Chain A
Amino acid sequence: MKRIIFQALLLIALFFCTWFLLQQNDWMKTFKVEETSNKLEQKLGDLFWDIIKKSKKENTNPFLVKSIDSMVSKICKANQIDRSQIKVHVLESDDINAFALPNGHLVINSGLIVATQNQEALCGVIGHEIAHIELSHIMKKLIKEIGLSALITISTSGGDSEIIKEVLKKLTASAYDRTLEKEADLKAVEYLKNADISAEPFANFLYEIALRQGDEPKYLTWINTHPDTKERAAYIIEKSKEYRVINKPVLTPPSWKKLKAILQE
């Protein structure tokens, strides 16, 4: 009996040793897994952005682009994020919405910029979307909801345009799961802290917008797609209390006013 137990243990050990030894090689590199998934993400990102570009107008006002760019750059620089990977777009739309697409596309609707009372709140939303990009939430969500094989089919064959639109809807008008949203919120607070931007206005923005939920719902997409807004605002405030931040605004007050004026036109 002892011999059998010894042989069984040896067999189990042989299995785990083989597994352990094989783990010593970086198979992701050998099989170019990351390269392939990056290519998939790139193709999907470009495909989705092309569809959005066709249906909505991008605001390319130089002052607006420069202002938003300086906010994104400040957050990226303070958090060692490769700025060149984030492609910022401002869409002309009344919807209060911002979303991230695969391959680092960060889309902000002009309606959201208009709705924010101050630039810190806007930086909070930007930080939240950058966190989704940096934490690979977009591909995780797509793989979970659409499936890897369907995504590969869409990216290689182009797929049915109606199907692509439905998939795109999942990114622009539906929430990530609660864990991912919380993770992105807390990461955004961290990003803001490192960039010397107070997170409190971001939480206040969530409170304000939650109170506007009686408004025309289509204008409140971001809030409808991010449930439990009050709860989110509460934990953002709680997290921000852990840090002492001396707020250094990215834009000067006149620049911020000018930015809002451009969009309100």
Chain B
Amino acid sequence: MNNQKKIKIIEIISKNIKVSSKLINESSCMTDFAKWDSLAHVNLMLELEKQFKKKVSTSKMSDLNSVNKILQFFQSK
């Protein structure tokens, strides 16, 4: 994946779950951060949709529960 895109996604995650981007890596997932709850997750998905102009269906929203899955999803066309 394009490194810049990856950094941007991690920054968006960091902003929405209110956790420093230094603490987030590819293997991080929702359960690792108490602040990454369902409310933060919806806001995160909406922002990622807007930034990368790619629709996230509600079934996909539940599946994208880790940084790795999010990176993979937004990498694919």
- Are A and B subunits of one complex? no
Give chain A's interface residues, CB within 8 Å of chain B: none
